[in-house]
Each structure stands twice: as C-alpha cells, then as structure tokens.
A and B are shown apart, each in its own frame.
Chain A
Amino acid sequence: MLLSLENAGVYKSERWLVRGISMHVEPGEIVTLIGPNGSGKSTTAKMALGVLKADEGKTYRRQDLKASYVPQKLDVNWTLPLSVSRFMRLTNKASYSEIETALSSTQILHLAQKQMSQLSGGEFQRVLLARAILRSPDFLVLDEPVQGVDFNGEVALYRLIDDIRHKLNCGVLLISHDLHVVMSTTDRVICLNGHICCSGTPANVASSNEFKSLFGEHALSGLSLYKHRHDHEHLLDGQIDQSSKSKSNLKQNKSEKNHALRKAKNA
C-alpha cells in the first residue's frame, strides 16, 4: 500500500472542507475522485500528498514515497524567465534525453525551449503531465490533468496515464470530470461531496443511487452512440502522425467517445 487516509478531514475557515475520508492507493492502480465543484476533491488529493494536514483522522504514507503532482492551477507569471525544459527540472535533476523522452510522450517536444508564460492552457497541461512523469513517481496525483486539452489529445493523455501506471507500477490518484473516461480506465472510483458518497468499482458506482443523484440519471448515457474511426492523427505542430495510420486497430477502443455525427452520416 502506498498511502491511506483513515477517517481524515480538513477544517478551514470554520467549516469542514471534507470529513470522514477513508481511502487507500495501491501500486499500479488508478483511483479516481469524482464529485461536483466544491466537493473537496482537490482538498482530498492535497491531504493525500501531505500538502494539507488532516485536522482529524489518520494519514499514512509509505516511507520515501516519491510523489508527483499535477496541480489544478499553477500560475507562472511573466517576471519568471522559465523555459519548459528548465521547468522539467523544477524538483529533480534530469538529463536532456530524459526531458526529451518525457516531452515526446505528451507530444510537446517542439515546446522544449518555449517560455512557460507563453504556453496555451492545453500545452501547459501537457508540460505539467510530462514533468510529473519524468520523475518516475511511485504515486502520481493528477488534478484535472486534461483541462483545456483538445479532444484527441485528451484521449491520448488518458491512454498515456494508463500506460505509465503499468510501466512504473505507480499508484494514480486522478481527479476528473470526464465520467466516460473515468469509468473505462479506473480501478476504483470515489464519489465525493464533502464526504464519501459512494466508492467501489466503476460499474458498482455507476449503478448506485448516490451516483445518480449527484450526476443525474443520464450522466453516462449516450456512451454507446459515440463510436467512429479516424484514419490518421495530427501531431501538435500540425503534421500528420504517420505512425498513427498503421495502428488503426488501437483506435477502436480509444474512439469510444468520439463524435457520433459522422458515423450517423456514413451509415
């Protein structure tokens, strides 16, 4: 076990942000936190990381746990001259080839010398994710890692996260609003609203009444409609990714979520 929270809670400004959180993360598994805005997802993640102290309950982290964190918000102001490749070495040392590999994995090698303050929202998220991966963590905390990322990129990044946890055997704590993706790649889902509403395997959670009352009956409907195939992919610099053409069989499972209209037309 990498870490666990036992009946933990955070108290701030005279109210409990979250309370009664019990959870644990094992190596190689993805645990996803879902819940409406202000339900304490980020707070729970910060508590798991030790950024916030639990005001009640117990927290346990394995000794020498190497954590990587993709925060929900990070502001690099203009006064800070910080290139992407320097940012990659923010909390750890890394050789140039390691940085290149990490940047390539999120398809942003071409941004290596750019300044952080010039990046778009989606590019910034890719840099954050690449940096988190570069550290080869035991425990990866991703707070809405694909916000602002374009649609194709979103799917690719989720696939990357899935790859990484197998390759590094690291535990992943994911906060996401993409219920469809969450339900397909997660081992366990924890549904939060100031406390744990329900938790378990995606299938169990999706069928629970608590989930339905939080997200509505139709949160996951329409899933099966969204299927079609692209025959090529674009790299971020606009070129067509040649390697993507050949692996169209891979595409099938990733395009679950893709737009349905074209499929309808074709049929």
Chain B
Amino acid sequence: MLDDFFIRAIVGGIGVAVVAGPLGCFVIWRRLAYFGDTLSHSALLGVALALLLELNITFTVFCISVVVAMLLMLLQRRASLSSDALLGLLAHSALAVGLVVLAFMTWVRVDLMGFLFGDILAITRADLMMIWFGGVAVLIALIKIWRPLFAATVSYELATAEGTRPDFANIVFTVLLAAVIAVSMKIVGVLLITALLIIPAAAARRFSKSPEQMALIAIIIGVFSVWLGLSGSLEFDTPAGPSIVVAALSFFILSILPLPNLKPRNQFQKIEPAKTELDSETP
C-alpha cells in the first residue's frame, strides 16, 4: 500500500497534522507565530548544510532549528533590538544564507521548489518512519509537559511562583517545535510550515471551550486539510504545501462565518460535573 506515492504523502501529512495541531495551539496562545516562521525559514539553511556535509536532511534541519531557537532566546534576553526586528532579521538572513549556499553548490542538483513549497513525490518510507515515530515521541513529550507548559502560557510568573518549573517546559516545547518543523518540511515546504501550525489551531478556536479541546479540534482540522489539500494537489497538479494551506484556510474562513449555531454555548449551560474531563486525584 505504501508503494503508492500518494498514500505515502497522505500518511505522512496526517502524521504531521497530528503533532502540528496541539503545538500550533501553543504557538497561537503564546504569540509565537513569527518565532515559528523564523525557525522554519532557517530550515533551508539546514538543508544547505545537510547537502554540503552529506548528512540526513531532516536531522540536520532539526539541529539547525534547535540552534536558531536557542540563539533567539539568548538574543531576546540581551535585547538590543526589539524582538520582532530580531526575528525578522534572523528569519530572512537564515533563508538568504541558505539560498546562497545552495546556489554555490553547483554539483548538487536541488529541487528548490520542493523545499520551499513541499514535494509529495519526495516522501520515502524512511521519511514516514521518521514522521510517525518522531510524531509519537513529540506527542508523548508534549503530554508530559502539558500542565507546566500551559500554566506558563497563561502566566509565567504564576507558574514559577507555584513551582511548576516553566523554564524546563519552555525549552522542551522549543525543541518539539523544531522537530515538527524538520519533519513537516518535505510535506508543506519551508515557507508554509507556520501556516500548517497556526491555521488549523486558529480555525479550532471558535469551536473550543477548553485548551485540550482546541488542540484536538486543531488536529482534526489539520488532518482534513492535509487530505483535501493533497487530493487537490494531485487533481489539479498544484504544489502540495500551498494546496494544504489553502484547504486549511477554507476551514478557517468557515469558522469565522457568522453562523450562530457554531458558537460554543458555554455561557448558557448549567454547571454540570463533567467528570471525564477532570482529574480525580486530589492535590
């Protein structure tokens, strides 16, 4: 079954959507969209280095993303520039350096469009293994740090004061983000990874009453976007990444249409013990 490139693309794309959903929610909540953009743009630098040093592309991209993320955190602490200027500077410098390095390597033939916009034909069985095993690892790690990470998202000071150790959770989160960027690069392409992170999450917002629910709905919307987008890409011979993003965008537009019965109706509900949702353990 996995011999068919289209099936491979779908399976890979769904794997990516499943991890991108919850991480994308955090990207939105923490206003990190531009941060994600910077990491994903630096992925091209990772590609260039991988080809230059003949390393595994996904792994190199992951490493470069982690390095850029840590660099950003350091620079933001020193803060000689405002953080949006800093992000813009790094994002486009990394992209430009990546492109220049690629251009110098005349001996490698690179499908630049594939890296920039995604290439469903390029997904191999090894990539699938990487996406799914990596994806499961990312999800497990995210569940482990969920409470401190979420607490730090609401208020860093509160989380610190009450001993949930948000710094550790923040670092793990950044590494997970880098991992997702590395594995989703082949499917949606460097330029559109942030879209895959934030559009399903943004579309999920209106239907959600709790953060956990928003993460789940973001996954569902992401999976449907991948399926719709890849089918459209095959049908109309359009590039994979943009097609997926367009599909996700249509879900987002649907979510902001003023249809009254789409609103979560929490304010009219009586208090009912939603036992399944609650932790039974006492503090």
Q: Do A and B come from one complex?
A: yes
Contact B266 A136, beta carbon cutoff 8 Å? no
A86 within 8 A of B: yes
User: Which residues of B sit under 8 angstroms from A246, Cβ to Cβ?
Assistant: none
B279 within 8 A of A: yes
Out of A76, A98, A115, which one reaches B154, CB within 8 Å? A76
B281 within 8 A of A: yes
Are A51 and B210 also in contact (CB < 8 A) when A91-B151, A113-B269 are? no
Interface size on A, residues (CB 8 A): 40
**Closest-CB distance, B32 to chain A (whole angstroms):** 12
Are A135 and B275 also in contact (CB < 8 A) when A79-B205, A80-B211, A83-B210 are? no
Contact A90 B205, beta carbon cutoff 8 Å? no
User: Which residues of B sit under 8 angstroms from A94, Cβ to Cβ?
Assistant: 278-279, 282-283
A121 within 8 A of B: no
User: Which residues of B sit under 8 angstroms from A69, Cβ to Cβ?
Assistant: 157-158, 161-162
Out of B161, B205, B279, which one reaches A81, CB within 8 Å? B205
Q: How far is the CA of A114 from the CA of B275 in the complex (A)?
A: 17
Which residue of chain B has its CB nearest to the CB of A75? B155
Contact with A along B264-283 (1 / 0, CB 8 A): 10110101011100111111
User: Which residues of A sit under 8 angstroms from B264, Cβ to Cβ?
Assistant: 81
Are A82 and B158 also in contact (CB < 8 A) when A93-B281, A94-B282, A95-B282 are? no
Are A80 and B160 also in contact (CB < 8 A) when A86-B211, A93-B281, A118-B267 are? no
Which of A49, A66, A98 has most B Cβ within 10 Å?
A: A49
Beta-carbon contacts under 8 Å, B118-172 to A: 147-148, 150-151, 153-155, 157-164
B208 within 8 A of A: yes
Are A115 and B162 also in contact (CB < 8 A) when A94-B282, A94-B283 are? no
Out of A71, A115, A134, which one reaches B157, CB within 8 Å? A71
B29 within 8 A of A: yes
Are A81 and B282 also in contact (CB < 8 A) when A87-B154, A91-B162 are? no
Contact B162 A67, beta carbon cutoff 8 Å? yes
**Closest-CB distance, A74 to chain B (whole angstroms):** 5
Q: How far is the CA of A86 from the CA of B274 in the complex (A)?
A: 11
B92 within 8 A of A: no
The interface size bin for chain B is 35 or more
Main secondary structure of the interface of A (DSSP, over half): loop
Q: How far is the CA of A50 from the CA of B166 in the complex (A)?
A: 13
Beta-carbon contacts under 8 Å, A79-118 to B: 79-83, 86-87, 89-96, 98, 100, 109-110, 112-115, 118
User: Which residues of A sit under 8 angstroms from B151, Cβ to Cβ?
Assistant: 90-91
A68 within 8 A of B: yes
Contact B282 A83, beta carbon cutoff 8 Å? no
User: Which residues of B sit under 8 angstroms from A83, Cβ to Cβ?
Assistant: 209-210, 266
User: Which residues of A sit under 8 angstroms from B29, Cβ to Cβ?
Assistant: 77, 79-80
Beta-carbon contacts under 8 Å, B237-283 to A: 264, 266-267, 269, 271, 273-275, 278-283
Q: How far is the CA of A89 from the CA of B210 in the complex (A)?
A: 12
Q: How far is the CA of A79 from the CA of B278 in the complex (A)?
A: 22
User: Which residues of A sit under 8 angstroms from B205, Cβ to Cβ?
Assistant: 79, 81
Contact B282 A114, beta carbon cutoff 8 Å? no
Contact B161 A50, beta carbon cutoff 8 Å? yes
User: Which residues of B sit under 8 angstroms from A71, Cβ to Cβ?
Assistant: 155, 157-158, 161
Contact B266 A96, beta carbon cutoff 8 Å? no
Q: How far is the CA of A118 from the CA of B153 in the complex (A)?
A: 18
Q: How far is the CA of A153 from the CA of B51 in the complex (A)?
A: 67
B214 within 8 A of A: yes
Contact B158 A89, beta carbon cutoff 8 Å? no
Which residue of chain B has its CB nearest to the CB of A118? B267
Contact B154 A114, beta carbon cutoff 8 Å? no
A46 within 8 A of B: yes
Are A96 and B157 also in contact (CB < 8 A) when A90-B150, A115-B266 are? no
A54 within 8 A of B: no
B28 within 8 A of A: yes
User: Which residues of B sit under 8 angstroms from A91, Cβ to Cβ?
Assistant: 147-148, 151, 158-159, 162-164
Question: What are 29 contact pairs spanning A and B, CB under 8 A?
Answer: A50-B160, A51-B160, A67-B161, A67-B163, A68-B161, A71-B155, A77-B29, A79-B28, A81-B210, A81-B264, A82-B154, A82-B211, A86-B210, A90-B151, A90-B159, A91-B159, A91-B162, A91-B163, A93-B281, A95-B278, A95-B281, A96-B273, A96-B275, A112-B271, A113-B269, A115-B266, A115-B267, A118-B267, A141-B161
Q: List chain A positions with a Cβ less than 8 A from chain B.
A: 46, 49-51, 66-69, 71, 74, 76-77, 79-83, 86-87, 89-96, 98, 100, 109-110, 112-115, 118, 134-136, 141
